[in-house]
Amino acid sequence: MKEVERSLNITIHGEIRSFKTLFAYLMELSAGRAFTLIIDEFQEFYNINSSVYSDIQNIWDSNKDRSKLNLILCGSIYSMMKKIFENSKEPLFARFTEKITVKPFDLLTIKEIIAEHYPHYTPEDLLAFYLFTGGVAKYVEILVRKRAFTRKKILDEIFREESYFMDEGRNVLIEEFGREYGIYFSILSLIASSRTSRSEMESILGTTVGGYLDRLENDFNLIRKVRPIFAKQGSKSMRYRIEDNFLNFWFRFIYKYSSAIEIGNFEYVKEIVERDYKMYSGLVLEKYFTAQLMESKEFSDIGSYWEKGNSNEIDIVALNEREKKLLIVEVKRNKGKVDMDRLKEKSQNIVKDFPDYNIQYKGLSIEDV
């Protein structure tokens, strides 16, 4: 009440004891003056009073044609916000006129941020910054504020008492998953540890995971299916990948070694990260260059490639149908380990399907970040 009076410079006469009454008052007020109402963590009404959504629907539908209200509803629980506005059984289904999903910073912005605050950064520093933050604004803000721009400083910031990052995966996801968070966490931990096929997961967990994978992809927007580029939609050759860089790291190293973290043995886990860093960062390097090619807007299709039994794996294949160009890329941390002859050999089954295309082979390494 006081916030409404202060922000709009008005005096509310009479008692307002419910959100329904307050919202009706604001809708009526907006018929005569334009203003913006922002409600943050909108999904929390489910825990407080879920009838609020029906109240908003009725009041909005009755007043929207004469209202000048710009109503912005924000939420941090993706699945709940999706349910509220995209589930046909919910009262606010299809009521939104615009939808904004906050995305991570692109690569150019990440470079600009690190260059501004740490001008002498190396390619290794940039890769580490991308690996741990993925461009998520909150993570970037914390590392910038802590002046953590090298791998060592970032790890020191993550693995310490009272670190923001220690419980981040749990804090973000337990409310999303509810009582079944244990099975979801187990699946995400396997994916982060490169157990990326459904059959591998089911073999290790001893249960079917198809429904969980479907919800992780479609309801929670946390993973996505990865098929070989040019494979048919129904192809059974499929892997799963966690989209968020930090959550992938969290499940790979923090959740997996939570026992050591619970007893405060941060150095033990940091040593494991350092031990596995070259291989782990090599996979992130592939993701970095894939994102770079996507952001270039030069290609109509970009993906990785492999054949039956995971043979002839190729890190990145990019197609430009308009200009009839095909780019085939091998990514190695060390440029000296790029084998162009082997890359051409592995590409034969792709190239034969594009006889009139300009084929380009490229090796990319950390020097090209």
Q: Write down the mean pLDDT value for the chain.
A: 94
**Token pair of 49, please?**
């009073």
Count CB-CB contacts under 10 A for residue 22.
14
Percent of the chain exceeding pLDDT 70 equals 100
Would you say residue 81 lies in a domain?
yes
More confident residue, 11 or 185: 185
Percent of the chain exceeding pLDDT 90 equals 82
Would you say residue 286 lies in a domain?
no
Average pLDDT of the residues in 314-327: 97
> Which CATH number do you get for residue 246?
1.10.10
Give the number of C-alpha atoms closer than 13 A to the C-alpha of residue 88, restricted to the C-beta side.
0
Q: Give the pLDDT of residue 147.
A: 97
Res. 48: pLDDT tops 90: no
Q: Which domain holds residue 134?
A: 107-158
Q: Which are the contacts of 229, defined by CB distance < 8 A and separation ≥ 6?
A: 301, 302, 303, 304, 305, 317, 319
**Token pair of 184, please?**
């979801």
Interatomic CA distance for residues 233 and 273, integer angstroms? 36
DSSP state of 250: I
More confident residue, 14 or 294: 294
Would you say residue 276 lies in a domain?
no
Would you say residue 242 lies in a domain?
yes
Cβ atoms of 327 and 364 within 8 Å: the answer is no
Would you say residue 48 lies in a domain?
yes
Q: Give the pLDDT of residue 325.
A: 97
Q: Give the pLDDT of residue 46.
A: 85
Which residue type does 175 have? E
Q: Give the pLDDT of residue 171.
A: 86
Res. 62: pLDDT tops 90: yes
Would you say residue 212 lies in a domain?
yes
Count CB-CB contacts under 10 A for residue 222.
25
Identify the bridge partners of residue 131 per DSSP, sorted by sequence position.
none
Residues 59 and 117 in one domain: no
Q: What is the pLDDT of residues 89-117, one digit of tens each?
A: 999 998 888 999 889 999 999 999 999 99
Would you say residue 95 lies in a domain?
no
Interatomic CA distance for residues 109 and 132, integer angstroms? 15
Whole-Å CA distances, 343 to 230, 326, 328, 339, 347? 18, 14, 8, 6, 6
Go through 138-153 and write b for each residue having 16 or more CB atoms within 10 A of its CB, e for each that does not.
ebbebbbeeebbbbeb
Interatomic CA distance for residues 115 and 240, integer angstroms? 33
Residues 70 and 142 in one domain: no
Q: Give the pLDDT of residue 314.
A: 97
238 three-class SS: coil
Average pLDDT of the residues in 175-180: 86
Interatomic CA distance for residues 101 and 283, integer angstroms? 26
DSSP state of 178: G
Q: What is the pLDDT of residues 223-246, one digit of tens each?
A: 999 999 998 877 788 999 999 999
Residues 8 and 80 in one domain: yes
Phi-psi region of 162 (alpha: psi -120 to 50; beta: other; left: phi over 0): left
Number of domains observed in the structure of the chain? 4
Q: Give the pLDDT of residue 79.
A: 84
Q: Give the pLDDT of residue 293.
A: 97
Is 96 exposed, middle or buried (CB count within 10 Å of its CB: 0-12, 13-18, 19+)?
A: middle
Q: What is the pLDDT of residues 256-314, one digit of tens each?
A: 999 999 999 999 999 999 999 999 999 999 999 999 999 999 999 999 999 988 899 99
Q: Give the pLDDT of residue 312.
A: 94
Interatomic CA distance for residues 85 and 105, integer angstroms? 26
Quick one: pLDDT band at residue 172, thresholds 50, 70, 90? confident
Q: Give the pLDDT of residue 151.
A: 97
Residues 181 and 259 in one domain: yes
Whole-Å CA distances, 215 to 115, 287, 331, 337, 361? 39, 23, 32, 39, 38
* Least trusted range by pLDDT, from 175-179, 276-280, 315-319: 175-179
Average pLDDT of the residues in 58-69: 93
